C-alpha cells in the first residue's frame, strides 16, 4: 500500500461566537384581560387583514416563579435553577397552543411559528382566522407586535487628540494600578452587530481562544441571523459597531491601545443586528435565551446541552426601540437579573427632547446609560427622561459616549458616538467592581454605581444625567474600610511533560506563577490570610502568608499530571468573615499530545459520502487537531484545523475516488504524531441523487 506522508501545517482555526442573553420572569406581571379582543394592541388585527398575513407574538399567562433564585449563592446552581424553571414552564404551558399551531399550519392558516422559553412566548406568522382563534385561547395573556429594534449609535467622529480620554474620565486606570484588578474572573457579553474576534485588542480576551492559534466558538458565539461565515460558526462584524462596544468593555493591545475598562475579563457575544443595524425582535429573543445558557454551535437556545454555568456576568445591550408599555421586556430583564446577569442598556439617541428614553432601557430594572462628551456635557442626541414605563429616574447614569476611540472591524480603531458606547463603560465598570469584590450582590454593585457618580447638571438625580457621570474608582471604594485582592495574570499555562517538538509559541513549563497584591481601602490595616481551592493533582507553593496590608505574595501551581482548564479561586480572609475571592484560570497541556484514533470513515470503507463527516478520538483536553486528506490520484490535498473531534468539508470530494486521511494533535506546548492513516473510497456519482 502506498505510504502517505503528512507534513505539519500550521494555521489557525477560525470559528466564532457572538451574542448573548436569555430572560426569566419574576413577578410584575402586566394586567391580563379575559376578553380576547383586548389582548392585542390597536391596529394589529387590521394589519393582518390588510396584508393577508402578519407576524405577532403570543405571551402566555403562566410565567416561571424565579423568586428563589436570589437566595442561591452558587453561580452554577443559580444559573441551572433559572434555566430549568424557564424551560419547564414553557414546556408545560405551551403544549396545547403548539398542537393548535401545528394543525393550523397543516391547514394553511399559519405560515410559521417559533417557541421561546425565555419569556414563555410564541412567535406566529398567520392569517386573521388563526389570529382570532389564538387570541381566544385562555393560555394567551396578550398579543404583541414584533418590531425591529435599532442600535443606539451615531456616526464616527475622528479626532486623534481624544485617545483614552474616556477611560481616564471614569477613573478605571486607578483601579488597575492601585489594586491590580483588571476584571479577572469576569465574563462580559454584548448583543450587537457581532465582534471581529481576532482583532489584536480583543483576541486574547475572547473566551473561545484556546491558545496556540486555536479557537473553539462553542458556547462563546451565536449568530441567529446566520450572516457570518458558513456554517455561521466564525464570529464576524460587517458593521463594526459590536467590535467597538466590546473594545470599550475589555479591549487592550499595548500601551497605545488601552481602550477597555476591564482588559482582563473574558468576552462572548451574540450577533442579533444586521448590516443595516436593525435588530429583529425574534432574533433578540433568541439572543437573550442564549445569554442565559450559552449553547454549542450545533444547538439552539433551550437545548439540553446548553450551559447556564457559562453565562456572562454582565451583558451590554446596544439596541433600543420607542418605549411602549407591553410588559414583555420587563419580564425579560427581570429574568436576566434572576440569573445574576447585570442588564446594561443604551438609553437611546432620540434626544434632546424630554421623555425620549427608549425600551427596554426605560424599565426600572434596566440600567440605562446616557452619553456625555469630554467636558462632561450631555450629548444632544442622548435620550432623556422621564420614562413612560416607570417612576424611577432614567437614565440611571451617564458615561463617555461622544468621539470615543475603540476597536473596529478589520483590526483598526475609530471614534464612535452613541449611548451604546456609554453603556459599554457601565458594563466594563460593573465587571471591575465584581472582580474586586465578588461577594457583592448584583443589587449592591449597581447601587454603588449610582451612589458614587459625579453629580452633573441639575441637583442629582435628574432626567438628563440620571444620578451623574460614572466614576468607577469611587464606586469601588464605597467609603467603607476593607481590602482588595489583586491577582495577575488572569490566566496561566503550564506544560506537564517533555515534548518531541515545540511550536513557536510554546507555553511555560514547570509551575504557573500568580502574583498577589493586597491593598487597603479607607485605612484598613489588619493582615490577610490567603487560601486556594484544591486543584486535583497539583501542588501549591506559597510565599508570604498571612500577608500584611498593604503587601505582596505569590502562589505557584505545579507538579500535576492531568491536562485541562481549571478555574482556581484565590481567597483572602481578614478578621472575622471579611473575605475577598479572585478567580484565575490554569490551563494545563500535555506537551506530548499523543496520537488520536481515527473513527470514521474507517480504514477500507467504500461507498463513502462525497461530504463525509470525519471523526476521531480526543487526545487531551485543550488539544487542537490538524485533519489532512489526500486524493490518491492527484495533488488534491485538503486540511482543516479544529478544536473539535470531527469536521465536514463544505465542498464535496471527487466521486469514485480513493482518499487517504489522518489527524495530528497539537497544543501550545507540543505536537503529537499523526494517527495511522486510513484509506477509503467515495461513492460513484451514479449511485447518488442530486446534481453534480
In the numeric block, which cell numbers belong to residue 245?
Answer: 462596544
| Catalytic residue status for 420 | yes
Q: What is the C-alpha separation between 585 and 481, in angstroms, rounded?
A: 29
Measured CA to CA in angstroms, residue 620 lies from 206, 514, 533, 565, 662 at distances of: 21, 24, 23, 11, 17
Q: Which helix (DSSP H) or strand (DSSP E) does residue 92 occupy? A: helix 75-107
**Side-chain-side CA neighbours of residue 217 (13 Å):** 30
- Number of helices (H), then strands (E), in the chain: 11, 34
Cβ–Cβ < 8 Å for 453, 459: no
- Annotated active-site residue 241? The verdict is yes
Report the half-sphere exposure of 174 (CA within 13 A, side-chain side). 14
Among the listed residues 456, 342, 354, 349, the one whose alpha carbon sits nearest the alpha carbon of residue 397: 456
> Which helix (H) or strand (E) covers residue 558, if one does?
strand 551-558
- Contact by Cβ (8 Å): 240, 266: no
Pair type for strands 187-192 and 314-317: parallel
Q: How far apart are CA 570 and CA 556, in angstroms?
A: 12
Is the backbone of residue 429 left (phi > 0), alpha (psi -120 to 50) or beta? alpha
Alpha-helical segments (H) within 303-343: 328-338
- The x, y and z cell numbers of residue 352, run together, are 434632546
CB burial readout 131-164, b (16+ within 10 A) else e = bebbbeeebbbbbbbbebbbbbbbebeeeeebbb
Tell me the C-alpha distance between 23 and 316, whole Å. 14
Q: What dihedral angle (degrees, nearest 10) is formed by the CA atoms of 248, 252, 255, 259?
A: 0
Cis peptide preceding 550, ω within 30 of 0: yes
- In sequence order, the β-bridge partners of residue 688 are none
| In contact, 609 and 689? CB cutoff 8 Å | no
Distance CA 196, CA 190 (A): 13
Q: Which of 16, 192, 252, 419 is catalytic?
A: 192
Nearest Cα neighbor of 259 from 430, 449, 76, 400 is: 400
In sequence order, the β-bridge partners of residue 565 are 587
Instruction: Select which of 241, 313, 425, 647 is catalytic.
Output: 241
Exactly one of 420, 438, 517, 553 is catalytic; name it.
Answer: 420
* Catalytic residue IDs: 192, 241, 420
Amino acid at each position: 500500500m502506498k505510504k502517505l506522508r503528512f507534513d505539519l501545517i500550521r494555521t489557525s482555526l477560525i470559528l466564532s461566537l457572538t451574542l448573548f442573553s436569555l430572560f426569566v420572569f419574576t413577578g410584575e406581571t402586566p394586567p391580563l384581560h379575559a376578553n380576547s379582543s383586548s389582548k392585542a394592541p390597536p391596529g394589529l388585527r387590521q394589519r393582518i387583514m390588510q396584508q393577508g398575513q402578519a407576524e405577532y407574538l403570543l405571551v402566555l399567562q403562566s410565567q416561571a416563579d424565579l423568586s428563589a433564585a436570589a437566595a442561591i449563592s452558587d453561580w452554577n446552581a443559580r444559573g441551572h435553577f433559572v434555566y430549568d424553571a424557564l424551560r419547564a414552564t414553557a414546556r408545560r404551558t405551551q403544549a396545547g397552543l403548539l398542537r393548535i399551531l401545528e394543525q393550523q399550519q397543516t391547514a394553511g392558516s399559519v405560515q410559521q411559528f417559533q417557541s421561546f422559553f425565555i419569556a414563555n412566548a410564541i412567535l406566529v406568522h398567520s392569517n386573521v382566522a388563526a389570529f382570532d382563534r389564538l387570541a381566544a385561547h385562555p393560555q394567551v395573556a396578550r398579543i404583541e407586535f414584533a418590531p425591529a429594534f435599532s442600535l443606539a449609535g451615531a456616526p464616527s467622529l475622528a479626532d486623534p487628540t481624544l485617545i483614552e480620554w474616556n477611560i481616564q474620565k471614569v477613573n478605571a486606570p486607578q483601579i488597575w494600578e492601585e489594586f491590580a484588578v483588571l476584571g479577572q474572573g469576569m465574563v462580559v457579553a454584548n448583543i450587537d452587530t457581532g465582534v471581529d474576534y481576532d482583532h489584536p485588542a480583543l483576541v486574547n480576551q475572547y473566551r473561545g481562544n484556546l491558545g496556540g492559534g486555536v479557537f473553539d466558538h462553542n458556547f462563546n458565539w451565536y449568530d441567529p441571523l446566520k450572516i457570518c461565515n458558513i456554517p455561521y460558526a466564525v464570529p464576524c462584524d460587517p458593521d463594526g459597531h459590536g467590535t467597538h462596544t466590546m473594545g470599550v468593555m475589555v479591549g487592550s493591545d499595548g500601551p497605545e491601545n488601552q481602550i477597555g475598562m476591564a482588559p482582563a475579563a473574558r468576552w462572548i457575544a451574540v450577533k442579533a443586528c444586521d448590516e443595516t443595524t436593525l435588530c429583529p425582535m425574534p432574533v433578540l429573543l433568541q439572543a437573550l435565551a442564549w445569554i442565559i445558557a450559552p449553547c454549542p454551535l450545533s444547538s439552539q437556545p433551550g437545548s439540553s446541552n446548553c450551559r447556564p454555568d457559562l453565562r456572562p456576568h454582565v451583558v451590554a445591550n446596544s439596541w433600543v426601540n420607542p418605549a411602549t408599555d407591553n410588559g414583555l421586556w420587563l419580564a425579560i430583564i427581570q429574568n436576566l437579573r434572576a440569573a445574576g446577569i447585570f442588564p446594561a442598556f443604551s438609553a437611546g439617541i432620540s434626544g434632546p427632547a424630554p421623555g425620549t428614553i427608549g425600551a427596554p432601557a426605560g424599565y426600572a430594572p434596566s440600567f440605562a446609560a446616557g452619553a456625555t462628551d469630554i467636558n462632561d456635557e450631555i450629548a444632544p442626541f442622548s435620550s432623556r427622561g422621564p420614562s413612560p414605563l416607570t417612576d424611577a429616574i432614567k437614565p440611571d447614569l451617564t458615561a463617555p459616549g461622544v468621539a470615543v476611540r475603540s476597536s473596529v472591524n478589520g483590526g483598526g480603531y475609530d471614534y464612535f458616538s452613541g449611548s451604546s458606547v456609554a453603556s459599554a463603560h457601565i458594563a466594563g465598570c460593573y465587571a471591575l467592581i465584581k472582580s474586586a469584590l465578588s461577594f457583592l450582590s448584583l443589587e449592591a454593585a449597581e447601587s454603588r454605581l449610582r451612589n458614587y457618580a459625579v453629580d452633573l447638571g441639575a441637583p442629582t438625580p435628574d432626567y438628563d444625567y440620571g444620578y451623574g457621570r460614572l466614576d468607577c474608582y469611587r464606586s469601588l471604594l464605597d467609603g467603607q474600610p476593607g481590602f482588595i485582592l489583586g491577582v495577575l495574570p488572569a490566566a496561566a499555562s503550564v506544560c506537564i511533560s517533555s515534548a518531541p517538538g515545540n511550536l513557536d509559541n510554546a507555553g511555560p513549563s514547570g509551575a504557573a506563577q500568580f502574583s498577589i497584591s493586597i491593598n487597603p481601602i479607607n485605612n484598613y490595616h489588619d493582615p490577610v490570610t490567603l487560601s486556594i481551592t484544591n486543584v486535583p493533582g497539583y501542588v501549591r507553593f506559597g510565599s508570604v502568608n498571612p500577608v500584611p496590608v498593604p503587601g505582596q505574595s505569590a502562589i505557584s501551581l505545579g507538579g500535576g499530571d492531568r491536562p485541562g482548564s481549571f478555574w482556581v479561586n484565590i481567597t483572602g480572609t481578614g478578621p472575622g468573615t471579611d473575605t475577598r475571592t479572585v478567580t484565575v484560570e490554569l490551563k494545563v497541556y500535555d506537551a506530548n499530545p499523543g496520537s488520536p484514533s481515527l473513527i470514521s470513515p474507517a480504514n477500507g470503507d467504500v461507498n463513502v459520502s462525497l461530504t463525509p463527516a470525519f471523526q476521531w478520538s480526543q487526545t487531551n483536553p485543550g488539544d487542537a487537531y490538524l485533519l489532512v486528506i489526500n486524493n490518491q490520484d492527484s495533488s488534491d490535498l485538503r486540511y482543516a484545523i479544529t478544536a473539535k473531534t470531527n469536521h465536514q468539508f463544505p465542498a464535496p470530494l471527487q466521486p469514485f475516488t480513493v482518499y487517504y486521511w489522518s489527524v495530528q494533535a497539537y497544543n501550545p506546548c507540543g505536537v503529537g504524531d499523526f494517527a495511522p492513516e486510513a484509506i477509503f473510497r467515495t461513492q460513484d456519482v451514479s449511485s447518488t441523487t442530486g446534481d453534480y
